[in-house]
Structure 1
Amino acid sequence: MNLYRKVVLSLVIALPLSSLVSAQDAVKQLADKLQVMDTLLANFQQTIKDSQGAVLQQASGVLKVKRPRRFYWRTETPYEHLVVTDGKILWLHDLDLEQVSKQPFSADMDKAPALLLSGEIAEISKQYQVQALTSQQFVLSPRTDDGVFKQLTLEFRGASISGMILRDSLDQTTIIEFSSVRMNQPLADEIFQFTPPKGVDVINNEP
């Protein structure tokens, strides 16, 4: 499996707190930013860097989100790859390899950085320690060491999310920049449903 596909899977599938009050304020500020976002459409540009800051790979594509737990992430370059869920089944379609995998969507998947955007706002403080660097920048550190990532930064421009920065256990950094962001436009539920194309291998990851 190449580097980009590993990063896609990690995207979908600790800072000290100065005081309890400040931590609660940070969570509230972030929740206020996210809970006004019922739907989200955006283009994304993703850059992966190693621990020394050298660029390993770049990719771009389209993101669509609808609360609760509806998520569509399509990478268009350099590889075509789709991650989509209706909140019940999570599908991964590798168009280059003509392979599809499916698995039940579980509550644990809300911890994945990208899926956080479509998850339940109330769960943020249970899953993460939150620090507000500014009113537009928030750092999230997982409360449990699940190996997915060490630190996640969410950045906003006004009311809209503008980017995410993910640092993993190998100190690699994934920078995701959003553009053409549109919030709260109608999105049909059918967008988040998926039917495997005929002739494509389907791997069933049911437990």
Structure 2
Amino acid sequence: MKKVLFAIGLIASCAGFAWAGGLESLELFVSTVKTGRAEFTQVVSAPPKDGQSPRVKTSSGTFEFSRPNRFKFIYIKPFAQSIVADGQTLWLFDVDLNQATARKQTQVLGSTPAALIAAAPDLKALQADFTLANAPNKDGLQWVAATPKSKDGQLDTVRVGFKTTGKTAELAALEILDSFGQRSLLTFSKVEVNPSLAPESFQFKPPAGTDVIRQ
């Protein structure tokens, strides 16, 4: 999610033409993909300390969304956790701790990766919270870089990769870099575009005995 430096001359012109699809893919994705379902793998890399190798953690699960403002990440491995947004409340549930945290979505979703891929109703809404720019094509995907306009959070930059076919842009990857140098890469597979998802599938009810914290 660093700013891209262009080469000079003909190579730059050709590259610039190739990169033009990033923002177009994002706009196509937001405007035409109203619901989605996929499996994901997340790899989090922390910066090395004291000459040691970078620390890497891998997790996996499922992801669903219904635009605007409804989504859920269900982490299955290595630990069971859920992040569920029902349109009003964002729930974080840790199965092992038997603890659920509830926050108002309006207070937490604005300049977040979730807004980019699931919550925002249109491109204009994203541009209110992010500075958007084309990024180089990589790994067969078209990328867009998003930098939060608010400097209050810990998020540095987000890159979103799309696989575009015809009139459909399919979410393929999400790369997040925070202000501490930690990098998180989510890759999506078995993607379903515009499946039928019932609104109640995004409701979260804490299991009996759960410690509920409201913020």
> TM-score range with shorter-chain normalisation?
0.7 to 0.9
Q: CA deviation at 1:186?
A: 0.2
User: 1 CA distance for matches of 2:21 and 2:129?
Assistant: 16
User: 1 CA distance for matches of 2:25 and 2:64?
Assistant: 23
Q: Give, as a single letter, the amino acid of the residue that structure 1 aligns with 2:101.
A: S
Aligned residue for 1:200?
210
Aligned residue for 1:109?
109
Q: CA deviation at 1:55?
A: 4.1
Matched positions, count: 188
Q: Does structure 2 conserve the Cα–Cα contact (< 8 Å) formed by 1:110 and 1:116?
A: no
User: Which blocks of at least 5 consecutive residues in structure 1 are unaligned?
Assistant: 1-13, 19-23
User: 1 CA distance for matches of 2:144 and 2:116?
Assistant: 13
RMSD: 2.4
Q: Give, as a single letter, the amino acid of the residue that structure 2 aligns with 1:62.
A: T
User: Which blocks of at least 5 consecutive residues in structure 2 are unaligned?
Assistant: 7-19
1:157/1:16 CA distance change after superposition, 3 Å: closer
User: 2 CA distance for matches of 1:134 and 1:84?
Assistant: 32
Aligned residue for 1:3?
none
Length-normalised TM-score, structure 1: 0.82
Matches within 5 A, 1:13-52: 15=3, 27=23, 29-52=25-48
Aligned residue for 1:174?
184
1:65-95 Cα offsets, whole Å, 9 max, x none, are 0011001111111111101111111111100
Q: CA deviation at 1:34?
A: 2.2
1:127/1:27 CA distance change after superposition, 3 Å: farther
1:148/1:88 CA distance change after superposition, 3 Å: same
Aligned residue for 2:149?
143
1:30-76 Cα offsets, whole Å, 9 max, x none, are 21232211101000000011235724211000000001100111111
Matches within 5 A, 1:180-195: 180-195=190-205
Q: Does structure 1 conserve the Cα–Cα contact (< 8 Å) formed by 2:111 and 2:150?
A: no
Q: Does structure 2 conserve the Cα–Cα contact (< 8 Å) formed by 1:15 and 1:141?
A: no
Q: Give, as a single letter, the amino acid of the residue that structure 1 aligns with 2:128.
A: K
Q: Give, as a single letter, the amino acid of the residue that structure 2 aligns with 1:74.
A: I
**2:109 counterpart SS class:** helix
Q: Does 1:127 align with 2:129?
A: yes
More strand, by proportion: 2
Q: Does structure 1 conserve the Cα–Cα contact (< 8 Å) formed by 2:34 and 2:194?
A: yes
User: 1 CA distance for matches of 2:158 and 2:149?
Assistant: 12
**1:33 counterpart SS class:** helix
**1:110 counterpart SS class:** coil
Q: Does structure 1 conserve the Cα–Cα contact (< 8 Å) formed by 2:133 and 2:145?
A: yes
User: 2 CA distance for matches of 1:85 and 1:166?
Assistant: 20
Residue identity (%): 27
User: 1 CA distance for matches of 2:39 and 2:131?
Assistant: 28
Aligned residue for 1:21?
none
